[in-house]
Amino acid sequence: MEYTALTDVFGEKLTYSIPPYQRPYSWDCIGKSEKNNQINIMWDDIYNFFQDKHKGLYFMGSMVLIPNKLEERLFEVIDGQQRLTSITLLIVAMKCFLKKIKSKTIYYDIKLDEFIDEIIRDVEKVVFNKEFKGVIEIKKKVKIEKSAEFDYDVVLENVLECSEKPQNKELKTKYKFVTEEQKKIILRYYKNRIYFEDRIEENFLTNNKFTENDFIKLNNFLDFLKTKISFVIIKAKNFEFAYRIFETLNNRGLPLSNKDLFRNFMIEQFDAIKIEKPDTDPIKKWNDLDTNFELKEDFIGRWVESKKGGQQKLSAFNDLKEIIYNSDNFYKDDKLNKIKKIEFLYNDFKKDLSYYTLINKPELIDNIEIRNRVLFLENCGNNRYTTNLLISLFRHLKYESDENSNLNDFLKIYEQFVLHTLLHSGKRFSSSPIYKAINLLNKNRFNEAKKEISDKTNINELKSLIDDKITDNSTAKLLISKYIWHLQLINKDDVISQILYYNKATLEHIIPQKPEINSNWENEFSVNFRNKYIYKLGNMTLLSLALNASANNHDFSKKKMYYEKTNLAFTKDIIKDEISEKDIETRHENIIEGIYTDLGINS
């Protein structure tokens, strides 16, 4: 196992074969979270690493390969095809961008003509092999083996040649006999390459012109990709061995996880000071962390990224050691003896672990308002980046689980940012402002960090989106939950308090999306009203899955029988003899006003 730079991963005459049993290419640039927006996040992380001029390598992940027995430089990809394909699309997007410039759709200085051609040739050397067999043959270094269902290799070939994204009607003529699912996968290759092209155009043009400085910057970016992007390459002798490695990587982590490595390191450090401090018990020290806090495997990575304000480079443990030994902070102070150094590290780590525990178990937070905001953010997705930010924020404010106006204000602004991304069809999640905010917090520039997040949200647009139709059930459920948590806050001095079990709740539309024929919904609610309000928050509530299924599309007289079975006051409030259009309108106005107030956007 070794770290391999991209220039060696895509070495001369190397070919990677993605076998037909692998799942199709699945990374997207169109979603709202790290689960369906991997391309956006990949670009943010790589470009920020390049911009910040980080030393060392940028770690892209691992690849498990089986060397071909007959062809020395051919490898079957068992794990890593998503990363391999995506970095190929990024590299080739540079060529497509430059070809657009050459076609004069974007103006450039003609004296750069030869240099542009040189970059295009350099890009092609990375992703293509050139062979001479009587004639010059150019072949992709990444090949997708044809499956019985569809030949995606033809798609990848077209995408790497910078062909235009086919329109829906063209798909059937260009790629025959495609299913709807196959269409999505085909377009994914095109969309991801075009996404990278758009980001390159956005960052490597000056006033819509490709200048000499832009050329130098782009050339530097290509060199950065070739020399600083790295993979861990794991070569296995056969499929059985490769698959065992794959299972280990995906199910248990590497044989020694980051947590295991840190445990060994911490125990070793405390063991080394036992001569000077005999009462030190290394195992007890570790057990204090592991038993009394939420010390998950994920914490090491979150701690590292919250400290450095950027993605980890190689492994979380290696980055952790770099922070300890190389950063310009107290750990490095030569005036401290080794006892004080390890104890300082331990206490610092323990404090941040207490913050991580509060973030992962919000029920431990004493202040209701902050608890509810962390609960809300926990269910919004992108937990990796939110956790990084919250650790940095709690650390900066020395948060102790009580009321804290600075923390509350920052969380409101971050909620606005998250909701704007979720509700706006054209916005995608970006890790860039989060890492910038973390860096500012780590430099004790709280107000600048808050502004970095707030500047990304158009408040009037956000208010309009909350007031509008919301067709995504998960986002609507989040907003209804936010209103319920808001009600809990304003009723906190009541003699009883309700707990919302978010994971057990499902979204219920009061006026059904498909009402029963001759129901009160058809007879008493106009078509225009239903069209306007069915997907608005005033027409929504929460029920358990079983009650939701029972309520179904029934008449209100039958639905309210199931509403009566819930203990949730917000749903019980709907119950009355009859329900009218005015009831839904008033309910909607109350909900959005409550959410506006909770988010601090009422004025």
Evaluate whether residue 385 is within a structural domain: yes
Evaluate whether residue 354 is within a structural domain: no
Confidence tier at 146 by pLDDT (50, 70, 90): confident
Confidence tier at 314 by pLDDT (50, 70, 90): low
Position 459 scores a pLDDT of 95
Coil, helix or strand for 107? strand
* Shared-domain flag, residues 282 and 392: no
The model's pLDDT over 87-122, given as tens digits with 9 standing for 90+, comes to 999 999 999 999 998 887 677 777 888 889 999 999
Considering only residues 236 and 184, tell me which one the structure prediction assigns the higher pLDDT: 184
Position 579 scores a pLDDT of 92
Position 463 scores a pLDDT of 96
* Shared-domain flag, residues 241 and 300: no
Considering only residues 332 and 461, tell me which one the structure prediction assigns the higher pLDDT: 461
* Shared-domain flag, residues 547 and 533: yes
* Shared-domain flag, residues 281 and 381: no
Position 22 scores a pLDDT of 80
C-alpha–C-alpha distance, residues 223 and 198, integer Å = 20
Position 86 scores a pLDDT of 96
Pull the structure tokens for residue 496.
Answer: 């009883």
Evaluate whether residue 266 is within a structural domain: yes
Residue 26 confidence (pLDDT) above 60 = yes
Query: Stretch 231-235: mean pLDDT, rounded?
Result: 85
Give the Cα-Cα-Cα angle 18, 20, 23 (nearest 5 degrees): 80
Residue 134 confidence (pLDDT) above 70 = no
Query: Stretch 555-567: mean pLDDT, rounded?
Result: 88
Please report, rounded to a whole number, the percentage of residues in the chain having pLDDT higher than 90. 49
Domain hosting residue 307, numbered range: 256-345
Confidence tier at 252 by pLDDT (50, 70, 90): very low
Among 276, 311, 345, where does a domain finish? 345
**CA of 458: how far to CAs of 16, 199, 463, 478, 495, in Å?**
45, 22, 9, 20, 39
Residue 21 confidence (pLDDT) above 80 = no
Residue 1 confidence (pLDDT) above 60 = no
* Shared-domain flag, residues 176 and 260: no
* Shared-domain flag, residues 126 and 181: yes
Evaluate whether residue 25 is within a structural domain: yes
Evaluate whether residue 463 is within a structural domain: no
Is residue 7 within 8 Å of residue 135, measured between CB atoms?
no
Position 254 scores a pLDDT of 42
Pull the structure tokens for residue 474.
Answer: 């998960």
C-alpha–C-alpha distance, residues 175 and 167, integer Å = 12
Domain count, the chain: 4
The model's pLDDT over 414-430, given as tens digits with 9 standing for 90+, comes to 999 999 999 998 888 88
* Shared-domain flag, residues 282 and 227: no
Position 496 scores a pLDDT of 60
Confidence tier at 327 by pLDDT (50, 70, 90): low
State the pairing for strand pair 128-133/135-140. Answer: antiparallel
Please compute, for residue 195, the number of CA atoms within 13 A of its CA located in the half-sphere on the CB side: 24
Residues paired with 542 in a beta bridge: 507
Among 199, 233, 252, where does a domain finish? 252
Confidence tier at 282 by pLDDT (50, 70, 90): confident
The model's pLDDT over 42-93, given as tens digits with 9 standing for 90+, comes to 998 899 889 877 777 888 888 888 888 878 789 999 888 999 999 999 999 9
* Shared-domain flag, residues 16 and 147: yes
The model's pLDDT over 375-416, given as tens digits with 9 standing for 90+, comes to 999 999 889 999 999 999 999 999 999 999 999 999 999 999
Please report, rounded to a whole number, the percentage of residues in the chain having pLDDT higher than 70. 91
* Shared-domain flag, residues 219 and 147: yes
The model's pLDDT over 491-524, given as tens digits with 9 standing for 90+, comes to 776 656 667 888 888 999 999 998 888 889 999 9
Evaluate whether residue 467 is within a structural domain: no
Evaluate whether residue 326 is within a structural domain: yes
Among 456, 482, 506, where does a domain finish? 456
Considering only residues 248 and 107, tell me which one the structure prediction assigns the higher pLDDT: 107
Residue type for position 1: M
Position 330 scores a pLDDT of 43
Evaluate whether residue 525 is within a structural domain: yes
* Shared-domain flag, residues 189 and 218: yes
Of the given ranges (292-296, 334-338, 454-458), which has the lowest mean pLDDT? 334-338
State the pairing for strand pair 209-210/107-108. Answer: parallel
Query: Stretch 210-216: mean pLDDT, rounded?
Result: 91
Confidence tier at 325 by pLDDT (50, 70, 90): confident
Position 255 scores a pLDDT of 47
Query: Stretch 17-45: mean pLDDT, rounded?
Result: 86
Confidence tier at 169 by pLDDT (50, 70, 90): confident
C-alpha–C-alpha distance, residues 259 and 22, integer Å = 30
* Shared-domain flag, residues 534 and 583: yes
Residue 78 host element (H or E): strand 74-79
Position 413 scores a pLDDT of 97
Length of the chain: 603
Query: Stretch 478-486: mean pLDDT, rounded?
Result: 94
* Shared-domain flag, residues 191 and 120: yes
